[in-house]
Amino acid sequence: MTAAPADRDTVGPSVGRRARFEEWAERQASLVFILPATLVILGFSLFPLLVSAYLAVSRFRLGPGGFELSFVGFANFRKLLFGSEQFHFLGRLEALGPLSWAVLIGVAALLGWWLARAYRNPKTGVIGKVGRTITATVALGLTALTLTTTLAGGAFGSLMTTLFYVVVGCTLQFLIGLGLAILCAQPIVGRNVFRILFFIPVMVTPVGIAYAFRMLADMSRGPLAPIWSAFGLGELSWAADPWAARMVVVIGDSWQWVPFIFIVLLAALENQPREQLEAAQLDGASGWQTFRDVSWPAIAPTAATVMLIRIIEAFKIIDLPNVLTNGGPGIATESMTLHSFFAWRTQDLGGSAAVAYMLLFVSVVISVSFFHFVVRRARREHL
Amino acid sequence: MTTIDRRPTPVTSIAHHTMPQPGPIARLFEPRRIGKMSPMTAFVVYGGLLFWTVIVVFPLYWLLVTSVKLPIDVNEGPRYLPFIDFQPSAHAWRYVFIDIGGDTFRPYVNSLIIATVSTVLAMLVGSMAAYALVRIEYRPSLGSIVMFLACLAAAIVAVVAAGVPWWIAAVGLVAVFLLLLRAIGRRFQRRLGNADIQFWIISQRILPPVVVALPIYVMFQNLGLLNTRTAFIITYATINLPIVVWLMHDFFASIPIDLEESAQLDGASRYRIFFDIVLPLAKPGIAATGLLVLVLAWNEYLLALFLSGADVQTMPLLVAAQNATRGPQWWYMSVLIVIMIVPVVTIALFLQRLIARGLLVGSVKG
Amino acid sequence: MRVTLDRLTKRFGTFTALHALSLTIEPGEFLVLLGPSGCGKTTALRMVAGLETVSEGAIQIGERDVTEVLPKYRDIAMVFQSYALYPHKTVAENIGYPLKLRRVPDPDRDQAVRQVAEQVRLDQLLDRYPRQLSGGQRQRVALARAIVRRPTVFLMDEPLSNLDAKLRVHMRAELKHMQHELGITTVYVTHDQVEAMTLAHRVAVLNNGRLQQLGTPREIYGDPANLFVAGFVGSPPMSFVDGALQSGRFVAPGADLAVGGSFDVRDAVLGIRAEDCQVVPRGAGKVRATVYSHELIGDHTLVMCQIGADSDASHTIAVKMDKAFEAEFGAEIDIDMAPAGLFIFDKKDGSRVRLPSA
C-alpha cells in the first residue's frame, strides 16, 4: 500500500491517494465504458452526416486558394428528381400505357386499403400512422417508377438499378442460401466440408470477385466460351446489353453473399430442438411437411433478420458494378453509391451529397419498413 | 403455485387412425431405412451440393490458373488445365513479387496494418460499449440529446458557412452545450434507455458509407491526416463499430452475472472484471466478431476510394487499378487477388463454426 | 398389442449403449425401463420409436417386424421429456397435427381434438399457444397429441421429470389411470424409482446397457437380483455393509450375524432396508453402532447409524424409526435386524448370494 500513515488516521485505513483514484475511476466506469464508442460515432458518423446534409443543399465551387460553398436550397434534389440529372437518377420516364395504369391503380388501391385499416385500428399510434404513410407513399412512388421505366418502355436510372440489385439479388441469395442450408441439414456425409467450402466466397474481396466474373463472363475467351459458341452466341457481348450486364452484377453479388445467408440459416436449422423434429416424425410428417410445419416457423425470425442485414448492406453496392462494368453500358449498371462517387469525381459535391442522401432516405425507409412489417411479425408469430 | 384439477379422467372412446400410404411421388423421397435418405432424396441433395461446390470452386480455380498463364493463353480462348491445355508459367508471380515487388508490398502492408489495427480498435471500443450496455443502466435524457444535436448543427453551419476555424467551433460547441445543460438540463423529463442507445449505435450501419465519405474526406483534409493510415484506421473502426456492439452485446448477455458479482464482492473493479473475467469468457464471440470485422476492413473499397492518395493505398484499390490503359492484365490481377484471398480464407477455415454461431446469436436476438 | 424386443443391441462406434436386450411387453401392459442416466434405457425406447437405428436384433409390434419400418408407419406415439410441442401452433393445432397428417377431414379432426382435450381437461385452452401454458398443461397437450390417434403403443421418455414435485404425484396417478382406461401397451422410461414402482406393471432395470432384472415392482423391491438393483430401488436406498461370509455368519467390524446357510464368500456385502432395522439400546441388538444423525421425515424418523466408526471400513446404515424417536448425536446404540430382511451379495460381481429362506 502507498497510503501514508497520516491519511489512515484522518480518513480511514484504506483511503490513500491511489485508493482514492481507484474509487474515482470506479465511479466513472459507466462513463468510461460507453464514451469512446459514443465519441467515435458522433465524430465520424453523426457529424459527417450533418455536414453531408449541409453539402446537399449547397453548391461547391473550387476557387482560388480553396473552395467556396453557397447555399442553394433544394436545387440539388430538384435537379435529381425533375431536372438535368433526372435520367441519371430516376431513369428515362415514359408515359404510362393502359396496362401500367391498371397496375398502378391496383397497387394504389391496395396501399390505400392497408393504410385505411391501420388508421381505423385504435392501436396504431401517431408514429405508426406517419410511418405507414411514408411506407405507402414510397411504395407507390417506386411502383410508378418501376412501371414507367419498364412496362412503359423507359430506362432505369441509378435508383431503379440499385433497387434491382437489392430486390433481385437478395431474393436470389435468400432462395439459394435457404436451399443449400436445407440440403446441408440432411443426414449427409461431409457436412463440414461443404460448410467450409460454401463459406469461402464471403471472404473474397468484392473487387476480386468482379474481375473473376469479368473473366468468367467473357463470351469468347472465358471458360464458358465453347457453350456460348455452341448456341451461336459467341460474338454477343453482355456488357452492351443493360439487362445482361445487370444480371452479371447480380450473379457476382450473389456468389459472394449466398454463403452469409447459408451459414446463418444452417446454424438456425441445426439449432432447432431435436425433439420437435422427432415428434413430427412420429406424428407422421414427411421431410417436406416437417420443414413446412416445424422447421420453417422455427427459423423464420432468423431468416427475416438475416435478410434485413442483407438488404441494408445490399443498398451500399459499388465495387461490383464499378469494376465489372464501370457502370455501363451507359448508366445501366450504375448503383446510387457509384452515381454519388462519379458526381464527387466531377467536383459536383452538392450533387454527390444529394444522391447519397436520397440513398440514405430510400434505404432507411425500406429497411425500417422491412423491419416493422416482416422481421417484427416473424418474431411475434414464430417465437 | 399450480392448482391441480382433480376431476377423474373420463372413460375414453377414441378412434384409431393409422398412417395412409404415401402417393407415388412422396414415396420416391421417402427413406427406405431409418436415418437414411431415399435414393431420390440423396440424388437431389448430393446433386445440389456438388453443383454449388462447382459454382463456388470454379471462379477460384480460374483465378488460380489464370495467375500461371501467359498472356497468350488468356487471349486465345479458354484453356482449362495446366500442363495439358497450356504450359504454366510463373511470369505473373515473378512480376508481381520481384519486378514491381515494392509496389505490391507497400499496399499489402498498408492493408495488413489498417485491417488489424482498425479491428483491434473497433473490438476494444465496441466490446466496452456492448458490455456497458448489458450490465450498466443508462438513462440519458432525450432533451439533452436534441440540444446537443442542435449545437452540433449550429457549429457546422458556423464552420462551413461563416468560415469559423473548426477548432474554435468545436470548443464553442462543447462550452455552449455544457452551459445549456447546466442551465436547463434538469427540465428534461423524457429519458432513453439502454435499448435506445444500442439501437442508435447499431442503426449507424444503415448509413450508406457514401453519405459520410465526403465529409470524412474534408475532415481529414482539415486535420492534415488525409493520405495516412491513421485516417483509414479511424474510419474503418467507426464503420465496423456497430457490428461489434451488435454481436458482442449478445455474447456478453449470455455470460452468467454470478461470476461478475462474485468478483465484485472479492473487490475487483469494473475494469478488472471486464478485462480479467468477461473478455476471456467471451473469447468465441471475440474470435467470430473480430474475424468478420477484419475481413470487412480488409476488403473495404468505397471509403478507400475517397481516402487513399499517392502514399497510402490498400489492396482492393491496387487490384481495382489493374484495369490499366493497356486493358486488364488478367494474369497480374489474378496473382494479386489470390494473395488477397489466401490469408482471410485461411483464418476463416479455422473459425467458420464460431462465426456461424456468433451470427446466429446476434441475429436471433438482435 | 404385444411388443417384442429380441436381442436388441445398439452400438455408437465402439461404444455399446445397449447389450442384447430381450423383452416381451404384453398387450396393455405398462412397462417401465428404469436405470441411471446413460444406462441405455432411452436408447432402447428410441429404437422402439424408430428414431434410432438398430445395430443388431429385432423389434416386433404385434406380429409385425418393425425393425426397419419408418417411425410413422409403426403406429406408435411418444411423449418427450421436453414435451416437444410445436411452439407456433395452438393447443388445438398441436393435438390435431397427427390427424392432419393422416388426412382426417377437418370436421372429424375438430371433433376428435375436442374430445381428447376434454379428457385431459384442456378444452378451455385450445386456442392458447404452448408458451402461454404451465408445465402441467403442456404435459397434457403432449399427452393429448399422443392419444388422439389411439396408437397401438405409447412411448414415454421421462414425461414427468420437468414438473414440480406436487404436480408430478398428481400426473402420475392420472397417467396410470388413463393408461388403464385406454388399455394401450406402454413403455415408460425413467430414472426415478418411485415413478417406476408406482406406475409399472413390470419394471425392467437397466445398467450399463444390460438388463439387470425384470419383474413386478414388488419383486424388484423385495427380491432384488443383484447389488445394483438393490441399491437403485428404494428410498432411502438399501444400506450396505462390506464384510465376509464365513460359513453362514456375516462378519464385519462391529457386526457378526448369523445369516443362515453355510457359504463362504470372502468379499461379501450385506444389504438391509431401513424398515427392516430397529435402533435398540446398546447390548440389545446384533450390530454395534453410533447415531450419526437423524431426520424427521414426517410419519417416521430416519436415523443414520455408523458402524465400525473406529476402523477404516465404516458404514452408514439407515434405520426407519417411529416419528417420536429421539437420540443424541454420537449415542452408542445397537441395531437389530430382521433376519428376513437380510440380503447378501458377492462383491466381486454384485450377484446375489441366495440364503436358505429363514
> Residues of C with CB below 8 A from B364's CB?
none
Q: What are phi and psi of A232, to 5 degrees?
A: 75, 25
Q: How large is the average pLDDT for residues B264-281?
A: 87
Residue B318 lies in a domain: yes
Domain match, B179 and B262 both = no
Percent of chain C scoring above 70 in pLDDT:
98
Q: Are A313 and A320 in contact (CB under 8 A)?
A: no
- Nearest Cα of chain B lies from the Cα of C148 at a distance, in angstroms, of 7
Q: What DSSP letter does each residue of C6-62 carry, written as one string?
A: EEEEEEETTEEEEEEEEEEEPTT-EEEEE--TTSSHHHHHHHHHTSS--SEEEEEET
> Residues of A with CB below 8 A from C77's CB?
282
Helix (H) or strand (E) holding B242: helix B229-253
With an 8 Å Cβ cutoff, are C102 and B17 in contact?
yes
In the prediction, which pLDDT does B365 show? Answer: 44
With an 8 Å Cβ cutoff, are C112 and B9 in contact?
no
Instruction: Name residue, grid cell 453519405.
Output: B211
Lowest mean pLDDT among A40-54, B36-50, C108-122: A40-54
Percent of chain A scoring above 70 in pLDDT:
93
Q: How large is the average pLDDT for residues C317-337?
A: 88
Whether A284 has its CB under 8 Å from any CB of chain C: the answer is yes
- Whether B278 has a pLDDT exceeding 50, the answer reads yes
- How many structural domains compose chain B? 3
Residue B21 lies in a domain: no
With an 8 Å Cβ cutoff, are B9 and C181 in contact?
yes
Hey, what's the cell of A115? 393504410
CA dihedral C203, C207, C211, C216 (to 10 degrees): -20
Chain B nearest-CA residue for A326: B323
Lowest mean pLDDT among B115-124, B313-322, C309-318: C309-318
- Nearest Cα of chain B lies from the Cα of A333 at a distance, in angstroms, of 16
Q: Which amino acid is at A38?
A: T
In the prediction, which pLDDT does C303 show? Answer: 92
Between strands C202-207 and C210-215, the pairing is antiparallel
Whether C282 has its CB under 8 Å from any CB of chain B: the answer is no
Higher confidence at residue A254 or residue C339?
A: A254
- Whether A5 has a pLDDT exceeding 50, the answer reads no
> Residues of A with CB below 8 A from B337's CB?
204-205, 207-208, 211-212
- Whether A10 has a pLDDT exceeding 50, the answer reads no
For residue C248, what is the DSSP state? T
Residue B276 is part of a domain; what is its CATH number? 1.10.3720.10
With an 8 Å Cβ cutoff, are B12 and C135 in contact?
no
Chain A nearest-CA residue for B365: A302
Domain match, B46 and B186 both = no
> Residues of B with CB below 8 A from A45's CB?
204, 207, 212, 238-239
Domain match, B70 and B212 both = no
Q: How large is the average pLDDT for residues B196-223?
A: 84
Higher confidence at residue B56 or residue B291?
A: B56
- Whether C92 has a pLDDT exceeding 90, the answer reads yes
CA distances from residue C10 to B317, C41, C56, C70, C232 in whole angstroms, order as listed: 59, 11, 7, 17, 24
List the beta strands (DSSP E) in A79-218: 91-92, 155-156
Q: Which domains does chain C have, with CATH numbers?
A: 3-228 (3.40.50.300), 236-353 (2.40.50.140)
Residue B2 lies in a domain: no
Neighbors of chain A with 3 or more C-beta pairs under 8 Å: B, C
- Whether A4 has a pLDDT exceeding 60, the answer reads no
Residue B29 lies in a domain: no
Distance, CA of A357 to CA of A81 (rounded, Å): 13
Whether A379 has its CB under 8 Å from any CB of chain C: the answer is no
Domain match, B47 and B113 both = no
Hey, what's the cell of B188? 428534461
pLDDT confidence bin for B366, thresholds 50/70/90? very low
Out of A1-15, A43-57, B302-316, C98-112, the most confident range is: C98-112
Domain match, B186 and B243 both = no
In the prediction, which pLDDT does B57 show? Answer: 93
Q: What is the pLDDT of residues C186-209, one digit of tens each?
A: 999 999 999 999 999 999 999 999
In the prediction, which pLDDT does B306 show? Answer: 83
Select from C68, C103, C177 the Cβ nearest to the Cβ of B9: C177
**Residue pairs between chains A and B whose CB atoms are closer than 8 Å:** 304
Whether C244 has its CB under 8 Å from any CB of chain B: the answer is no
> Residues of C with CB below 8 A from B14's CB?
112, 115-116, 147-150, 182
Domain match, B185 and B224 both = no
Chain A nearest-CA residue for C148: A283
Chain A nearest-CA residue for B61: A212
Q: How far apart are the first and last CA of chain B?
A: 34
Percent of chain A scoring above 90 in pLDDT:
27
In the prediction, which pLDDT does A15 show? Answer: 59
- Whether C262 has a pLDDT exceeding 80, the answer reads no
Q: How large is the average pLDDT for residues B311-338?
A: 81
Domain match, B122 and B169 both = no
Distance, CA of A133 to CA of A148 (rounded, Å): 22
Hey, what's the cell of C284? 440389545
**Chain Cα centroid distance, residue A7:** 61
Residue B27 lies in a domain: no
- Whether B322 has a pLDDT exceeding 80, the answer reads no
Nearest residue to A143 via CA among A107, A89, A113: A107
In the prediction, which pLDDT does A11 show? Answer: 47
Q: What is the pLDDT of residues C16-57, one digit of tens each?
A: 999 999 999 999 899 999 999 889 999 999 999 999 999 999
In the prediction, which pLDDT does C20 show? Answer: 92
Q: How large is the average pLDDT for residues B275-280?
A: 87
Select from C50, C99, C135 the Cβ nearest to the Cβ of B34: C50
Domain match, B216 and B279 both = yes
Select from C51, C104, C119 the Cβ nearest to the Cβ of B17: C104
Domain match, B151 and B251 both = no
* Domain limits for position B289: 106-139+204-365
- Domain boundary among the residues B191, B219, B252 is at B191
Domain match, B184 and B285 both = no
In the prediction, which pLDDT does A336 show? Answer: 92
Residue B196 lies in a domain: no
Q: How large is the average pLDDT for residues A229-242?
A: 77
**Average pLDDT score over chain A:** 85
> Residues of B with CB below 8 A from C1's CB?
none
> Residues of B with CB below 8 A from A179's CB?
48
Q: State the complex-level ipTM.
A: 0.85
Instruction: Name residue, grid cell 376434454.
Output: C118
Chain C nearest-CA residue for A274: C84
Domain match, B156 and B124 both = no
Hey, what's the cell of C289? 453402532
Q: What is the pLDDT of residues A184-227, one digit of tens each?
A: 998 888 888 888 888 889 888 888 898 888 888 887 778 887 88
**pTM tops 0.95:** no
- Nearest Cα of chain A lies from the Cα of B350 at a distance, in angstroms, of 9
Q: Are A34 and B128 in contact (CB under 8 A)?
A: yes
Residue B281 lies in a domain: yes
Q: What is the pLDDT of residues B6-27, one digit of tens each?
A: 555 544 567 888 888 888 888 8
Distance, CA of A173 to CA of A170 (rounded, Å): 5
Domain match, B311 and B338 both = yes
With an 8 Å Cβ cutoff, are C148 and B19 in contact?
no
